[in-house]
Amino acid sequence: MSALVLALTAGAVVGLALGALGGGGSVLAVPALIYLLGFTPVAATTASLVIVVFTSVTALSAHARDGHVRWRTGLLFAAAGIGPAMLGGAFAGRLPEAALTAAFAGVAAAAALRMLRTRPLADTAAPVRPGRAAAAGAGLGAVTGVLGVGGGFLAVPALVGVLGLRMRDAVGTSLLVITVNSLATLVMRAGTVDRLDWAVVGPFIGAAILGAWDGKRLAAKASGRVLQRIFAVALLAVAAFMLIDAVT
């Protein structure tokens, strides 16, 4: 199968995840770039940030039109993560590739198990505490910087469970957080990768943007619990494969 077809297919899946779940794009993009398209771990995590920025902005605009973005909360959450994201981005380039792969697999597996073990995130609202928002945002920013993931698969549970946002608002707001954190990390990673293969990254981004629109429509029709379980199983399989590859 050609690199173009693989990029288009993987991009569509990444876009579906971002559009439907408000996260999960980069935890699928990174292994696809490494194992299907031949990127190194550092190049893959950097390319995934570029892909996720473009896709998240597209999905964010759709959720914002429906009134499901909490701008003040999202910006506070994201602002607290900018510093840790930039520091993590600078640190990531110094990690051995096997360690970076293993760390990524560990975080992905933990996120998948959390999704499988917990009940669906409640569609309830509660007052947002700025201190909690800042602490959660800082932690997410660090993960984004080191592992090159937008962090939506962690941001949505944090926005609901820690900050008390409604599920639909959390999905939309997470896209704002993902965009800010990913841009901050890219600033610090500038120059760490000689050149991205835009013949692959470009079609990947295009397919992901189209997939994000379909994902938003899918989220409006399908059960949130079903989507959560499907994504978790796929993520767990990817994490297991990456972990085995890192230690062998």
Lowest mean per-residue pLDDT among 32-36, 52-56, 199-203, 216-220:
216-220
pLDDT, residue 240, reads 85
* pTM reported for the whole predicted model: 0.73
| 202: CB partners within 8 A, 6+ apart | none
pLDDT, residue 223, reads 65
Give the pLDDT band of residue 203 (cuts 50, 70, 90). very high
Could you report the per-residue pLDDT of 120-169, keeping only the tens digit for each?
Answer: 545 454 555 667 777 878 887 787 777 766 666 677 777 877 777 777 78
146, 91 Cβ separation under 8 angstroms: yes
Could you report the per-residue pLDDT of 204-237, keeping only the tens digit for each?
Answer: 999 998 888 887 777 667 666 676 677 778 778 8
49, 26 Cβ separation under 8 angstroms: yes
Cα–Cα distance list, 196 to 37, 43, 45 (Å): 12, 7, 11
